[in-house]
Amino acid sequence: MSKHVVFIGGGVIGLSGAAECARRGHRVTVIEGSPAQRGASLGNAGMVVPSHFIPLAAPGMVALGLKWMWNPESPFFIQPRLDPDFISWAWRFWRVASKAHVQRCAPLLRDLHLASRAAYAHLSASHEFGLVKKGLLMLCKSPHTLGEEAAVAARARELDIEAEVLNAVQVAALDPTVTMDVAGAVHYPHDCHLQPERYLALLEQQIRTAGGELLYGTQVIGFSKRSGHLNAVVTDKGEIPADQFVLSSGVWSAGLAQHLGLRMPMQAGRGYSVTVTDPVQMPQLCSILTEARVAVTPMGNTLRFGGTMEITRLNAPAQPRRVEGMLRAAQTYFPQFERRHFDGIKPWHGLRPCSPDGMPYLGRTQACNNLLIATGHAMMGLSLAPVTGQIVGQLMDNEKPTFDLTLLLPDRYA
């Protein structure tokens, strides 16, 4: 039976879910507060990464956060502050960042990423959004780091994820279009990349073609709820009633959830990117500069450098020094690039929604009997968007989800 479904949040997760529900015959309305951008969706690295089966909450991340706390150019930074929500989040992050947690999460993350990759590949047969299926390189400056990444590659192969360790000569032969100063790399041939703005535009087109409504520049200010049932979303432009609701507002989801009686710990993880329109060299493969934690993605005729995970306040100002650190590191891996090649380019920055355990919130919640949660994907939003949309559609039609969602339950901290 057709339902009216309201999506609160119009980033890549909300649009993917809305497009899937529209495809299934539901009437959809997407509410998005920003008129010009979609949070962390538009300027990200555009990578689809089955290789990323390790959640953010992993062994060593707390130590890295402490090590880099006083470095204004570090790629990973946790801003300490006397805020109860942050302290609770940090405590949970510290408790769960273990090898056992990674082992629990890795098979599910692998399966979700692979399902999304398959969905992107299927969609690219009939639509163009810049999908390139040449794999990803984890570039390593030092032999020590290459050894560490080789150990991760061995774990990937145990999970049936293809991975090959390459020396510097093999890396150069794989992508001869660019000069690299590295000790070696791990190549994940099933990873791929795309152009986020083209994919988002495609989703918008699909929603509108199906009769859906996209309400950009509309702020959610409250809810109309009675006896565990959500009747309407209250916006600055009036109430919007519906049969079902999906909360997919990224970093703002936690605050909205509190209005509905749901505790969903979340912190904002700011990332930055710089897109070069006329690069001095153009890699053919996307890559991650491992020590610097910088992503490098060719997007059509442009080249995007993105990175940093800055756990911070929602309203904290951007930190230009982190962009400088990212660009300085990139030049050490790609020595043909000089600082002047980035002059005059305005950096982009966006906020990623980070849960304490590094896993998304996805599924139904006991807070409201007609509310579904789809948020908290951190750096994996674009990579997991299609499969998240599929799961939202399945749950909307009361179908059994393709995947066991136990590790993703929105009520796991309630």
Residue 254 has pLDDT above 80, yes or no: yes
Distance from C-alpha of 136 to C-alpha of 188, rounded to nearest angstrom: 5
Give residue-wise pLDDT tens across range 308-340: 888 888 888 888 899 999 999 999 999 999 999
Q: Which pair of tokens denotes residue 387?
A: 């499969």
3-class SS of residue 215: strand
How many other β-carbons are positioned within 10 Å of the β-carbon of residue 157?
12
* Confidence grade of residue 53 (pLDDT, cut at 50, 70, 90): very high
Percent of the chain with pLDDT over 70: 98
Q: What is the pLDDT of residue 277?
A: 95
Segment 155-206, tens digit of pLDDT: 999 999 999 999 999 999 999 999 999 999 999 999 999 999 999 999 999 9
Residue 74 confidence (pLDDT): 80
Q: 165 or 41: whose pLDDT is higher?
A: 165
For 367-383, the pLDDT digits (tens) are 999 999 999 999 999 99
301, pLDDT greater than 70:
yes
- In this prediction, residue 295 carries a pLDDT of 97
Confidence grade of residue 75 (pLDDT, cut at 50, 70, 90): confident
State the pTM of this model. Answer: 0.95
Mean of pLDDT values over 207-231: 95
For position 104, what pLDDT does the model report? 96
Whether pLDDT at 39 is above 70: no
In sequence order, the 6+-apart residues with CB closer than 8 A to the CB of 326 are 73, 75, 272, 274, 292, 294, 305, 306, 307, 308
Backbone Cα Rg of the chain: 21
Using an 8 Å Cβ cutoff, are 138 and 165 in contact?
A: no
- At 38 the pLDDT is 56
Whether the pLDDT of residue 64 is over 80: the answer is no
pLDDT band at 57 (very low <50, low <70, confident <90, very high): confident
Reported as a pLDDT band with limits 50, 70 and 90, residue 78 is confident
Residue type, 347: P
**Maximal C-alpha separation, the chain:** 65
Mean pLDDT of the chain: 94
pLDDT, tens digit (0-9, with 9 covering 90-100), for 96-114: 999 999 999 999 999 999 9
Domains present along the chain, CATH in parentheses:
4-41+198-265+357-413 (3.50.50.60), 51-192+267-354 (3.30.9.10)
For range 5-15, the mean pLDDT: 97
Which token pair is 270?
């700011």
- Can you give the pLDDT at residue 40? 62
Is the predicted pLDDT of residue 93 greater than 80, yes or no?
A: yes
Residue 59: predicted pLDDT? 86
Question: pLDDT band at residue 1, thresholds of 50, 70 and 90?
Answer: confident
pLDDT at 97: 93
Is the confidence at residue 36, as pLDDT, over 60? no
